[in-house]
Amino acid sequence: MVTYIVIAGLSVDGFDALTAESKERIAPSGKLFAFPVKLPGYSKNHALKYQEQMRDKILELPETTMVSITIAYVNYGDQTTTAFVDAFRPFALVRPINPFVNGVAGTQISKAARREYGKYLADEAQELRARAKVISEFTHIRNTTPYLLPYKNFKSRHHYEMITRLYNQLGTHDNVTELMKAEANQFSQHHPRIPPPGQRDTCFSDGRLYFRSPGRNRHGYFRHEAGGDHHPSCLLAARSRLGGSYSHDLHYDCLPVNQLADSYPNCHDTPTASKKSHVNICPNDYII
């Protein structure tokens, strides 16, 4: 598994502390993405820049590569921070970090502070990698997990609220495993797996569609060749969910509960026509 680690919102001194650390220690199984901010807060295109960089790196990998996306960010407690973090929902694991606090400029105290902060960032990166590994144990289950259901096309308040809670808590919760088990159990109370009429295999349903497993027929998925024509987040969401990696070739063969709609919103909200009998939807909401 390749783990991408973004460390965002660092001051110039904080960034210098990061670059003094070994990249192998920060992201030994992936790549580090970081650049400094001159003033506290995040610019309008700050998240997009990171998304474009990660997309380009993913496109260099074989499609079968499992990818985990994690974000450590300095929380400035303002609207720019909220907008930045929201831009990675629901595909990344996000975790707030402390800002760098300067010592006395030009003294040994300041140098010591940089060294200590660099060590702190390396430890935070390690924490992100460990959490992403645990989350991936739940996202590798393919079609039997509620965590990979299409974020937009599975029309359920319970699903939206579950993903929102997990997105907000997985980066800091004391027990990732127990949190994910508890959320899955709670979700199943509202959306138990049921078989479509005339079938034995069970699946999730939002009352409009049955989200069936395609079985071994893995012909449809969000391919690398589509990545350049989509927003960068479309590809990132096709490879990672809540920081957990998942199989690149997963999609749902969706049957209507009553009647198919003429179209369904795809990964960047463009209405896309369904097939005559069903609609194929990927976890990132890409319509095949």
238 is a domain residue:
no
Average pLDDT over residues 4-16: 96
pLDDT value at 141 more than 90: no
The residues, ordered by sequence, that sit 6+ positions from 16 with a Cβ below 8 Å of its Cβ are: 114
pLDDT value at 199 more than 80: yes
For the segment 67-78, what is each residue's pLDDT rounded down to a tens digit?
999 999 999 999
Please name the amino acid found at residue 98.
Answer: N
Same domain for 212 and 148, yes or no, is yes
Domain boundary among 139, 163, 186: 139
Query: What's residue 196's pLDDT?
Result: 94
CATH code: domain of residue 76? 3.40.50
Query: What's residue 218's pLDDT?
Result: 60
Q: Confidence band (pLDDT; 50, 70, 90) for 147?
A: very high
Residue pair 285/148 in contact (Cβ under 8 Å)? The answer is no
Residue pair 261/273 in contact (Cβ under 8 Å)? The answer is no
Q: Which of 249, 149, 133, 132 is nearest to 209 (CA)?
A: 149
How much is the pTM?
0.93
Domain count, the chain: 2
Return the exposure string of 134-148: e unless at least 16 CB atoms fall within 10 Å of the residue's CB, then b: bbbebbeeebebbbb
For the segment 213-236, what is each residue's pLDDT rounded down to a tens digit?
876 666 667 777 665 678 999 999
Same domain for 154 and 257, yes or no, is yes
Domain that holds residue 184: 143-220+248-281
Domain boundary among 85, 108, 139: 139
Query: What's residue 87's pLDDT?
Result: 98
Same domain for 89 and 168, yes or no, is no
